[in-house]
């Protein structure tokens, strides 16, 4: 069972041939004061998995993705101005994408966190305006979609591409096999 509304997570699982049903969970995604980005992503995934009501024999999968740059956690932008602010921060910089995952069965809980480094090309003011105006950044951690219009801004990555999309599928699959 996937405890997420994310269409990207559904797409990743579907493409990998991992069967699932969707039962999204709502939790407060406000970072705690002084909370490290990895701890934050893991806590949100754990809370989503804990809130899910699973049928007997079901494994709950919950995840949370966040972006870290210069010590600042970038979640989903509040509005277009916030998206532009995030994109200016990312422009010409390396940042880290962290996805916390939590898998829960009746007898076991497995938690893990994937980390991917992403290098953004320098962006002009017009590129930032145009991308923010596209609407694509609005429901994405860090205000961009690596698989979408922002793909042209990515110079390179180090780590799992699917983690940047929102679900480190190989890591999830490895834990599912073990469960």
How far, in Å, CA of 73 to CA of 55, rounded?
34
pLDDT > 70 in the chain, percent? 100
pLDDT digits (tens, 9 = 90+) for 99-133: 999 999 989 999 999 999 999 999 999 999 999 99
* Per-residue model confidence (pLDDT) at position 40: 95
Average pLDDT score over residue span 133-150: 96
pLDDT for 138 beyond 90: yes
* Per-residue model confidence (pLDDT) at position 87: 98
* Per-residue model confidence (pLDDT) at position 113: 97
Residue 5's pLDDT band, with cuts at 50, 70 and 90, is: confident
Tell me which of 64, 112, 130, 139 is the catalytic residue.
64
Residue 140's pLDDT band, with cuts at 50, 70 and 90, is: very high
How much is the pTM? 0.92
Average pLDDT score over residue span 31-56: 92
Cβ 59 vs Cβ 104: under 8 Å: yes
For the chain, which domains are there?
7-178 (3.90.950.10)
pLDDT for 56 beyond 90: no
Active site residue 82: no
- Listed in sequence order, the DSSP H helices in the chain are 7-16, 37-51, 80-90, 125-133, 161-165, 169-178
**At 100, phi and psi to the nearest 5?**
-85, 135
């Amino acid at each position: 069972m996937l405890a997420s509304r994310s269409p990207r997570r559904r797409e990743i699982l579907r493409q990998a041939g991992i069967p699932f049903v969707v039962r999204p969970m709502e939790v407060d995604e406000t970072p705690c004061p002084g909370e490290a980005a990895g701890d934050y992503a893991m806590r949100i995934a754990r809370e989503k998995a804990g809130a899910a009501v699973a049928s007997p024999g079901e494994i709950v999968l919950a995840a949370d993705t966040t972006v870290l740059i210069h010590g600042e956690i970038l979640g989903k932008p509040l509005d277009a101005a916030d998206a532009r602010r995030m994109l200016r921060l990312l422009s010409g910089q390396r940042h880290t994408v962290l996805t916390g995952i939590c898998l829960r069965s009746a007898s076991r809980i497995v938690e893990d966190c994937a980390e991917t480094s992403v290098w953004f090309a320098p962006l002009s003011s017009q590129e930032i305006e145009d991308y923010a105006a596209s609407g694509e950044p609005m429901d994405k951690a860090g205000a961009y979609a690596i698989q979408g219009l922002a793909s042209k801004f990515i110079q390179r990555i180090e780590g799992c591409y699917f983690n940047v999309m929102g679900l480190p599928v190989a890591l999830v699959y490895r834990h599912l096999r073990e469960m």
